[in-house]
Amino acid sequence: MYTQFFQLKQSPFSIAPDPRYLFMSERHREALAHLLYGVGSGGGFVLLTGEIGAGKTTVCRCFMEQIPANCKLAYIFNPKLTVEELLLSVCDEFGIVLPPQGTGAVSVKGYVDAINAYLLASHAQGKNNVLIIDEAQNLSPEVLEQLRLLTNLETSERKLLQIILIGQPELRAMLARPELEQLAQRVIARYHLGSLSVDEVGSYVRHRLAVAGSAGASPFGTKLMAAIHRLSKGVPRRVNLLCDRALLGAYVEGKAQVTRQILSKAAQEVFGGEDAPRARGVWPYAAAGLLAGVALTGAAAWQLLPVGAGKGAASTPATARAAQASGKLAASAPAPAGRKATAQAAPGQVAQERPAAAANAPQGAAQSIAASAAAGPGTASTIGGAAAVSGVAADAALRQLSALWGNELADGEGCMAAAKKNLRCLQGKGGLAELRLLDRPAALRLRGEDPITARYVLLTALDGKQATLLLGGKQQVMSLPALEAAMDGSYVTLWRAHRSWRDEVSAGDRGPDVDWLARRFAQMHGLKKPADNQALEGATLRLLREFQGAQGLKADGVAGPKTFIRLSQLAGVPEPRLREQARVTASAANADGASAQ
């Protein structure tokens, strides 16, 4: 309905489980890691819980795509069954043929004997069997006890049947009952999938818009992300419902940007007034009227809604220009499991910007910004403390950062625009030690109460005693303790990758990015050049894990932005460097000192 209005190819916030919209936050990755660990360890039960709409099924689907080839999978999604019905479902899923039982019904013993015979035969063939039960909070205690008994069949090394229980939080309470203590003791891995953070909600919204074909300014400004998080409680499905209705409301009103007032009324429509009095469902009827040709304007449709339902600021030409001038700072993909970097994160619009010469540089200013960053210490001044650092808005910092790579971004352009120039954004959280390892300029977020409207400074050089920042188009030198006190640990940096590459690759993947990894490792170890289009497995996967461990990265076999960055650095790929710039600055300082003498 509204896709053409917002220049989208499809609806970005459908609640259908479309794999193209898969978004794995750090929590989802940790949940997936727990499932994979449980299968690999050979234990009995693995438990995954989470609120309704938190993404449990998404994690499960991702897990099902990554199970080893020697693993047979059975999936039960309607567990409101009796013991006999559940055992029959297990037989059906594994393809177990039941022996003829005459005219009578098959007994529990008949089912169990057939399942045990199948498991023994599978084990003899070197195969594992995994049973996934979704909505497991609906299982009765009798059925849970029967599942425990199924896991009694084991060798000296592993259980012949592994069971993954996925359900809502009450599943944990069920397993805490005294009568289920024996089952609870067999749970070797458990994970509760929490809600998304404010930053992750922003990344999630921008990710879905990008997949749906959004190429321009996001209809959801950065300042709305905190409100979206609060209204949706950080639950992905609730985010989808809220944003879908908000886009409908903006479409009805003919506005390219969702306002706080529109968002508030959307929440009343879809959540039934959890945070405010319930509003009447007007937008769907107004939209239908538009499609039918009814002469109902956006202003009239707005008047149909209750007065005072939301507290959005009035839209004026001045605020519209401010919103248009503000940009987006977007990161391109989620980081590997357990890492703090979130490569999908994409800072959105900031309502207003403080003046800064470099921050507000027009197109064509990339050379001047880069030249300013490369200038000698004779042009740099010293900053006394954290209070002296004012910083710039997120989009301005990204423009400065992109200029150091020789690329120009216009006002309002974010990481999606940078990606078209083979530059990817990486957002992470860590101290100066992590930035030394990355060894590239970065936009550092300053301390503040609100992460959405926080300010940034551009770090261009770093040595053992001080850091060089680009502020107001000029170099500023700051001591490392003062910088640590000024920044909150979050940063955004860039890394170069071909646009056909993925942001991360893992075991079993194929493609140009995997080919590059294989060739790079072969060069590093003096091995024969590998063939193209080979899966990431075997020796290449082993070398990847060894490399990650040696470089202080998470040795999970998932090659993400930090792995690609480090490999490019060791390969001597020309790109802006923090330490190299520090050496240039130090050399210039020595030359100035010699000439002064």
Task: List Cβ<8 Å contacts ≥24 apart for 297-304.
Answer: 298/252, 298/253, 298/254, 298/255, 299/253, 301/252, 301/253, 302/252, 302/253, 304/280
CA angle 131, 136, 137 (to 5 degrees): 165
pLDDT tens for each residue of the chain, 597 residues long = 688 888 888 899 988 877 788 888 888 888 888 888 877 777 789 999 998 888 888 888 888 888 878 889 999 988 888 999 999 999 999 999 887 765 567 788 888 999 999 999 998 898 889 999 999 999 999 999 999 999 888 877 778 899 999 999 889 888 888 888 888 888 888 888 888 889 899 999 999 998 888 877 889 998 899 999 999 999 999 999 999 999 999 998 888 899 999 999 999 989 875 544 444 444 544 444 444 443 333 333 333 343 333 333 333 333 333 333 333 333 333 333 333 333 333 333 333 333 333 333 334 444 444 454 555 444 455 655 555 667 888 778 888 898 899 888 877 667 767 777 788 888 887 778 888 888 999 999 888 745 556 788 999 998 888 899 988 778 889 888 888 888 888 888 998 887 667 778 888 888 888 999 999 999 888 899 999 889 999 999 999 999 988 887 888 888 888 898 888 888 888 889 986 555 554 444 444 444 444
How many angstroms separate the CA atoms of 277 and 388, rounded?
A: 45
What pLDDT score was predicted for residue 274?
57
Residues 6+ apart with CB under 8 A from 199: 225, 342, 345, 427, 451
Asked if the 197-271 domain carries CATH number 1.10.8, the reply is: yes
Helices (H), 257-346: 260-271, 283-291, 298-304, 317-325
Q: Where are the domains of the chain?
A: 26-99+106-193, 197-271, 394-496, 509-580
What pLDDT score was predicted for residue 382?
61
Largest CA-CA distance found in the chain, in angstroms, rounded:
108
How many angstroms separate the CA atoms of 185 and 236, rounded?
A: 32
Asked if the 394-496 domain carries CATH number 3.40.190.10, the reply is: no
- Report the CATH number of the 26-99+106-193 domain: 3.40.50.300
On whether the CB atoms of residues 588 and 376 are closer than 8 A, the answer is yes
pTM of the model: 0.47
Do 394-496 and 509-580 share a fold?
no
How many angstroms separate the CA atoms of 67 and 504, rounded?
A: 18
What pLDDT score was predicted for residue 262?
93
Asked if the 509-580 domain carries CATH number 3.40.1190.20, the reply is: no
Element (H, E) at 171: helix 170-175
3-state secondary structure of 113: helix
How many angstroms separate the CA atoms of 347 and 426, rounded?
A: 11
Residues 6+ apart with CB under 8 A from 85: none
How many angstroms separate the CA atoms of 522 and 118, rounded?
A: 43
Q: Given the structure tokens 């469902």, which residue do they identify?
A: 281
On whether the CB atoms of residues 349 and 464 are closer than 8 A, the answer is no
State the DSSP string of 346-413: -----S-----TTTTPPTT-HHHHHHHHH--GGG-EE--SGGG---B-HHHHHHHHHHHTT----TT-
